[in-house]
A = this chain, B = another copy of it.
Amino acid sequence: MTRELTPKGSATRQRIIDGAAAEIREHGVAATTLDDVRRRTGTSKSQLFHYFPGGREELLLAVARYEADRVLSDQQPQLSGLTSWPAWEEWRDVLIQRYRRQAWDCPLDALISQLGPSTPGARAVVTELLNRWQGDIAAGVRAMQGQGEIDPRLDAEHAAAALLAGIQGGIVIRLSTGRFTHLEAALDVGIQHLRASRDRHPVDH
């Protein structure tokens, strides 16, 4: 399974992934052909299949993994340090900045609807991304609970799930309509929900 790659080889392999990812970000998954990648990265057909014997599908999966990592690392170090309200706000801003820049296609969205049903591999990549993402948010919630800044009765995973859903939806809407007000609104409401939990009268009808 794990092939032995010389430094030169793995450099080429990485160059292919980088180029494919860029190509996809610019033109979308569907419009990206192997020849496009080949042209952009200055490689030949045989190299593509040498490094990705599974062909297009395997390359796409590698790109998905690469992009999934980027999604989280682009939010660091903020995402891992949600231990004060200013930190939460800073994270919010970083997120909005990131998706304000990324005007086009969310590679992962596209990849899912492209490979989604057919390959379980793509699903696994996305699922793991979301799990880690939600886990980091939930950790932040618990940290704040530890400081008495958030109502301890609040279910951290549940709140994190809702916030994550809002983020995803905000991004999707951003991609379809071009407006990112929804992403901002979702983050604002989500964070305010946490913030206000302390001040809320225990209703629980």
Contacts and interface: CB of A to CB of B under 8 A. Distances in A.
B176 A169 contact: no
Contacts of A28: 113-114, 116-117
Nearest to A28: B117
A166 B193 contact: no
A119 B100 CA distance: 21
A200 B117 CA distance: 44
A166 B168 CA distance: 8
Nearest to A171: B169
Count the copies. 2
Interface stretch (A11-19, A36-44, A91-99, A122-130): A122-130
A201 B192 CA distance: 12
Interface stretch (A50-58, A74-82, A139-147, A180-188): A180-188
Nearest to A128: B177
A23 interface: no
Contact of A175 (B27, B112, B188, B193): B112
Contact of A130 (B123, B167, B176): B176
Contact of A104 (B117, B130, B196): B117
A169 B158 contact: no
A22 interface: no
